[in-house]
Chains A and B, each alone.
Chain A
Amino acid sequence: MIDVFRIIFLRDLKVSLRRWSDVFISLIFFILVCLIFPLTAGDDQILLLKIIGPVMLISALLATLLSMQSLFKPDVSNGSLEQLVISSNSLAYVVCIKIFCFWLVTVLPLLFVSGFIAASYYVDQQSILIVILTLLVSTPTFVNIAALAAALTVGVRHSGALMALIIIPLTLPAMIFGSKAIEYSILGFDPTAPLYFLIGMMIFTSTLGPFVTAAAIRISID
């Protein structure tokens, strides 16, 4: 179990660090989408404080979507995913490791940057922590659902828009409650209730998600 974790985790880490430009692109994409809003909507503090929650979550979702297309596709084309499917290890476990590694490499940098972006939106210090915390508990949901979409569309040539169509309805509850959490914190209310919901969603998707994703991979590959 531990060995499987170590081998697959290190392999995925190595592969994604060698393709570091992909990781970098999604980070730059996240920053750019976040910065378009103040540049186009104007430097109005009240407005920016109002839209920061949705902007953060939408940018994180889009960045996840963009980089998620390369989670399974290269492995399918070079045949390594097939080897993982026919190996004796549980495919759900393998998928879980891959998703965790993806989250660590691609999404975690977004969290570091999100604090600075929130500061540029005039968010106060207390709420910046809530923004980061919200992203911390909502991005695993995004990643798990996006992984399912990626697994379903492995065989589709231009899967980007189709993946978006699959992901956005399914992540909507997390988006709503994530925006609520940030909004509450900025307005001075207690954001724990939406945060609890997000944590619940996170646990739900990251425990059941890998099984469904594994089933989707089995379907797409055979």
Chain B
Amino acid sequence: MNLRKIYKLGSPPYFFKLAILLEPWFLGCALLLISIGMYGGLFIAPPDYQMGDAYRIIYFHVPSAYLSMMAYVAMAMGSVVGLVWRSNVAFSFANSCAPVGASFTFLALITGMLWGKPMWGSAWVWDARLTSELILLFLYLAYILLYLSIPDRSKADRSASLFAIVGLVNIPIIHYSVVWWNTLHQASTLSRLAKPAIASEMLWPLMIMILGFSLFFFGIIMRRTAAEIMNREKKTRWIGSIFSEENDNV
């Protein structure tokens, strides 16, 4: 029974309707959580004894850095499913993750620079984690450009997906680069969840922000995937029937 539900996700009309249904919920919850997290982060959390108020950019930096990687994992997972089951929905999903993930990577880099300028004295240092994040951005760009430059859509889907899976090798390197070349970047704050190295008043807004950003990501992905499915299936009957129904209601 459960398996059948999972198989059903592969059907474009079903996923389309589900995505349209879920998107406002995801985005609404994301808006709520991000507002709570922002309030908590900007007003409730105490200033850091070393960095003062400047550390508060962490509430944008860490969630976007986290999502830059999670988007890649989501993209690679969509790619695996797409390659194994030849599922158009999974390809649409993977495909819509790429620009969003690239934007989060860009956001993480920009906020990191803004944070690094007053803290380290320079916006950019050749630290392992920064470099890996930059490489992640290039992986996203390579994925997008590879997809765009192959004229045949089915080939483009599969080639880019293969590349996404190969690029997944890069994610552990990003993660363990902290351990390998432990340099200027402060060690990850959240890796020791059992005994966090951060005051709890600072921590809970951060967690809420991460959750809010993730929901925002999924909301956006639902919308993009629905749009992509619509674009791919524009000649089919069901998409026409959906729109004629809406027209009837109006």
Which A residues are within 8 Å of any B CB, using their own CB?
148, 152-153, 155-156, 162, 165-166, 168-170, 172-173, 212, 215-216, 219-220
Contacts and interface: CB of A to CB of B under 8 A. Distances in A.
A165 B170 CA distance: 14
Interface string B148-184: 0111100100110011001101100100000000000
Contacts of B166: 148, 170, 212
Interface in B183-201: none
Main SS class of interface, B: helix
Contacts of A148: 166
Contact of A152 (B152, B159, B170, B173): B159
B228 to A, nearest CB: 20
Contacts, number: 49
Given A156-B150, A168-B138, A169-B138, A219 B162 contact: yes
B139 interface: yes
A166 B169 contact: no
A162 B146 CA distance: 7
Interface of B: 135, 138-139, 141-142, 145-146, 149-152, 155, 158-159, 162-163, 166-167, 169-170, 173
B149 A156 contact: yes
A152 B162 contact: yes
Contact of B155 (A155, A166, A168): A155
Contacts of B141: 165
Given A152-B163, A172-B135, A173-B173, A165 B145 contact: yes
A169 B142 contact: yes
A166 B163 contact: yes
A169 B170 contact: yes
A216 B159 contact: yes
Given A152-B159, A169-B135, A216-B159, A162 B169 contact: no
B146 A166 contact: yes
Contacts of B152: 155
Contact of B158 (A162, A168, A172, A219): A219
Contact of A155 (B135, B139, B150): B150
A216 B162 contact: yes
A170 B149 contact: no
A219 B145 CA distance: 17
7 contacts: A155-B150, A155-B155, A165-B141, A165-B142, A168-B138, A169-B170, A220-B155
B135 A220 contact: no
Contact of A215 (B145, B150, B162, B167): B162
